[in-house]
């Protein structure tokens, strides 16, 4: 078997610091958290449920385009922004 040169020693530690793959992460979108934090969570496969404080367009501008470009979804619902990773859709059919 060939050696791919993978160094997984730090992978587990990095995942623990950002959350486990597939978690639902609750947070506040108030401009205090760096956009890279939210992007990393989406890259790890987590779903974000963010209470929006302020203008949603302004608050999400630092990460919304990148999430969309990677195939994720952003859904605004009752003061919350739901951000899902690629291959996880937000079903809004029951909303009317």
Structural domains in the chain, CATH included, are 23-89 (3.30.110.150)
* Coil, strand or helix at 74: strand
pLDDT at 64: 98
Exposed, middle or buried, 67 (CB in 10 Å: 0-12/13-18/19+)? Answer: buried
End-to-end CA distance of the chain: 54
Does position 9 have pLDDT exceeding 80, yes or no? no
pLDDT tens for 33-78 read 999 999 999 999 999 999 999 999 999 999 999 999 999 999 999 9
pLDDT bracket for residue 17 (50, 70, 90) = low
pLDDT at 83: 98
Does position 21 have pLDDT exceeding 90, yes or no? no
| Alpha carbon distance 91, 33 (integer Å) | 27
| Alpha carbon distance 38, 35 (integer Å) | 5
């Amino acid at each position: 078997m060939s050696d791919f040169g993978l160094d997984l020693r730090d992978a587990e530690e990095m995942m623990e610091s950002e959350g486990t793959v597939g978690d639902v992460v609750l947070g506040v979108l108030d401009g205090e958290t760096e956009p890279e934090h939210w992007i990393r969570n989406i890259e790890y496969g987590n779903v974000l449920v963010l209470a929006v404080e302020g203008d949603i367009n302004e608050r999400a501008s630092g990460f919304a385009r990148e999430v969309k470009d990677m195939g994720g979804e952003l859904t605004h619902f009752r003061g919350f922004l739901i951000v899902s990773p690629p291959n996880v859709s937000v079903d809004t059919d029951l909303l009317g």
